[in-house]
Amino acid sequence: MAKPRLKIIPLGGLSEIGKNMMVMEYQNDIILIDAGLMFPEEEMLGVDLVLPDTSYLLEKQGRIRGIIITHGHEDHIGALPYLLAQLNAPIYSTKLTRGLISVKLKQRRVGTKAKLNVISPGSEITLGKFKIEPFSVCHSIPDSIGLIIHTPVGTIVHSGDFKLDYTPVDGKPTDLSRLAQLGTQGTLLLLSDSTYAELPGYTPSERVVGEALDRVISQAPGRVIIATFSSLVSRVQQVINSAAKYQRRVFIVGRSMTDTVRMALELGYLNAPDGILARLDELKGMPRNKIVFVVTGSQGEPTSALVRMANRDHHQVHIVPVAPAMSR
C-alpha cells in the first residue's frame, strides 16, 4: 500500500490578494484554513464578488473536520456564507473573528447549522489527524492568529496575514518567541502570507497611521470622511481616539460598518469614550469641523457608502465644497 501523503491544496489566495482558502488533507481527514472572497478587478464587468472554487470539497463533505479562520478580513471570511450554504462543518476562530462571522452570516441571512467555536493562542484543538495550535500574530485587525499544525508527517506553520509591528494598535505583537522555539524543533513547511513582503524595506507601524489621522482630524476645516473596511477594527479605534482628542464626534455610516462596530464594542475590542459616537439623526446643525464620518468604500466597492456619497446618491451625507468661513 502506498504511504499516505499529506495534500496541501490552495483553492485561492496564492500569488493574488483575496479569496484565501487552503485545504489540508491526510487520509480521511480534511481541514480548511480560511474561506475568503476577492473583490472584482476593473475588467470583471458585472461581477460582484469572486469566490474560491470549492467544487473539490463538495463530494468530500463528510471528511471535513473543521474550518479554521485566521482573522476576520473579507479575504479570509467573505466566502463563508456561500460555502456554508453548500456544506456544513464546524468553524474555529478567535472571539472577535467569530463576532465578525456571525454579523456576516446574519447580514446574508444564511441559516446554517455550522457551529462557531472559539479558539485562542496557546490552546490546542484536534481535528482528525491534525493537531492545531494557534499563535498570536499582529495584523490590521485584532485577534488575528497564525497556526501551528502538527500532522503525521511533520509540523506546518501557517502564518495567516501578519505584520511585524512592535507598536500595534491593540498592543499584541506577533509571537516571535513561539516561532523561534518551533525553529529549533524543526518545521516541515512554512506557509507565509504578508502582502508586499517581497518588496525591500519595511512597513511602518500602525502608529504612523494614528499620527496622520491626528494631523488630518485636527486641521481639516470641514468634515472628515474616512473610508476603510468595516472589519478594520483597529483603524476605527484609531479614528475614535483621534476624534476624541480633537473634540469631534464620530458617525459610523452604513449597515455593515454599524453592525461591526456595535459587535466590537460589545465584545470589548473597540473602546469609545462616552458621547464620541453619534447617530446620523444628530447630524443636523452640528458644526462641520466637529464631524468625522467612518464609511466603507476604501477600495471603491460599488455599493459602499463612499461611492454613493461620491455619486451624490447617499441620502444622509452630501459632499460639499470646503468653505472655511462656514461653520455649518
- Minimum distance from CB of 71 to Zn ion (Å)? 6
Question: Strand (E) positions, 89-209?
Answer: 91-93, 116-118, 125-127, 130-136, 145-151, 154-161, 189-193
Query: Of 65 and 73, which CB lies nearer to Zn ion in the complex structure?
Result: 73
- Minimum distance from CB of 231 to Zn ion (Å)? 8
Query: Of 73 and 98, which CB lies nearer to Zn ion in the complex structure?
Result: 73
Distances (CA, A) of 26 to 5, 6, 213, 261: 6, 5, 48, 39
Helix ranges (DSSP H) in the chain: 55-58, 74-77, 80-84, 95-107, 176-185, 206-219, 233-245, 255-267, 305-310
C-alpha cell of residue 256: 455593515
- Minimum distance from CB of 228 to Zn ion (Å)? 13
- Minimum distance from CB of 73 to Zn ion (Å)? 4
| Residues 284 and 328 sit within 8 Å (Cβ to Cβ) | no
Query: Of 71 and 223, which CB lies nearer to Zn ion in the complex structure?
Result: 71
Query: Of 75 and 259, which CB lies nearer to Zn ion in the complex structure?
Result: 75
Q: What angle do CA 209, 278, 171 make, to 5 degrees?
A: 35
Query: Where do we find the cell 473579507?
Result: 74
C-alpha cell of residue 263: 459587535
Query: Of 139 and 288, which CB lies nearer to Zn ion in the complex structure?
Result: 139
Burial of 305 (0-12, 13-18, 19+ CB in 10 A): buried
Query: Where do we find the cell 460589545?
Result: 266
Query: Of 233 and 292, which CB lies nearer to Zn ion in the complex structure?
Result: 233
- Minimum distance from CB of 218 to Zn ion (Å)? 29
Beta-strand pair 125-127/277-278: unpaired
- Minimum distance from CB of 83 to Zn ion (Å)? 18
Query: Of 98 and 223, which CB lies nearer to Zn ion in the complex structure?
Result: 98
C-alpha cell of residue 13: 489566495
Q: Is 72 helix (H, G, I), strand (E, B) or coil?
A: coil
- Minimum distance from CB of 139 to Zn ion (Å)? 6
Residues that bind Zn ion (CB under 5 A): 73, 161
